[in-house]
Amino acid sequence: MKEVFGTLANGEDVHRIKLKKDGLSAWIITHGASLHYLRLDPHPHSLVLGFDRLEYYIKQQDYFGAVVGRVANRIAAARATIGGETHCLDANENGIQTLHGGSDGTGVRNWEIRDCGSDYVVLEDHLPHLHMGFPGALDVSITYEILSGQQLKIDIYATSDRDTLCNFAHHSYFNLDGTDNILDHLLQIDADTYLPVDSNLIPLGGCQPVENTAFDFRKLRPVAWLNQPYDYDHNYCLSKARSQPRPVALLKGPITGVEMTILTTEPGLQVYDGKSANSIFPGHCNRPHQNYAGIALEPQCWPDAPNHADFPDIGLTAGDQYQQTTIFKFA
């Protein structure tokens, strides 16, 4: 079912598409190609954070449920060398670096609906050449589809007419219990290493072992470290390159017992515990979004990849196709 969710200042309508299959319901809005609401029968609450009014999506800056790009995460100094040429990018984070593709990245744009049915929707966007400083006119499409077995599948495809950078990520904040915070949620990540970062959340260098650190989620354990928040906003190094979709992480709500397994093609998983993703705007059912209200688990390539030769390459050659598949499987 498709309906108007709200209207932008330029007169464009933002639509909401409702999908359902096998006890899993997903509501998608065209603003940011965002996962607005996700419910698993028989639980009454949404498993993702979001807002009931479009104006709150527009005013907030934490990308609730959005698909961010053309380059997710951060690029240091808002500069990247592409095809031997240095490009100055939109420095939308603190005036010094690029975050999620710049101030007009896909996470804040109004996507077009190309096709939809009872359990799927296909959205698309076009980013012109030099949009936010990136070379190449880039066409991107995303398919949300509910599969049998209570699975939400997200396929992202993109092509460019010039060599460019491409690294998309889905940016939902998950809370499987519908409680005030996720610090007691149990998390497991299949990664032996992670990327330490500086004060601007830019990787300091190469991978470091998680063993004997607060970053060790190789066995299921609470998000909190020693019963306290640790302020995670780090990339876990799953592999050195994209692969076929495989299980990489598990999140479990201790109250409901709902489990979410993440399968993805991507070599990295950005984990953000939502330290500052609070909001003055009320979320679903007028619940406030407090600090740590949801955890973002974002399959993607590693941050600041253009400035690290040993990181997985996020270059997209003209005429080639970028493809990402991520599946959130519930039980």
Catalytically annotated residues = 171, 298
Q: Where are the alpha helices (DSSP H) in the chain?
A: 54-59
For 300-313, give one letter per residue: b (16+ CB within 10 A) or e.
bbbbbbbbbeebbe
Tokens 């997200």 found at: 154
Residue 83 φ/ψ region, left for φ over 0, alpha for ψ in the -120 to 50 degree band, beta for the rest: left
Neighbours of 53 (CB within 10 A): 12
How far is 136 from 70, CA to CA, in rounded Å? 11
262 strand-pairing partners: 249, 328
Q: Where are the alpha helices (DSSP H) in 40-95?
A: 54-59
How far is 41 from 255, CA to CA, in rounded Å? 15
Neighbours of 282 (CB within 10 A): 14
How far is 192 from 190, CA to CA, in rounded Å? 7
* DSSP code of residue 305: G
What residues have CB less than 8 Å from 21, skipping those under 6 apart?
118, 119, 146, 147, 148
How far is 279 from 276, CA to CA, in rounded Å? 8
Distances from the Cα of 255 to the Cαs of 43, 117, 131, 132, in angstroms?
11, 33, 45, 43
3-class secondary-structure state, position 132:
helix
For residue 20, give both structure tokens: 């359902």
Neighbours of 242 (CB within 10 A): 18
How far is 324 from 244, CA to CA, in rounded Å? 10
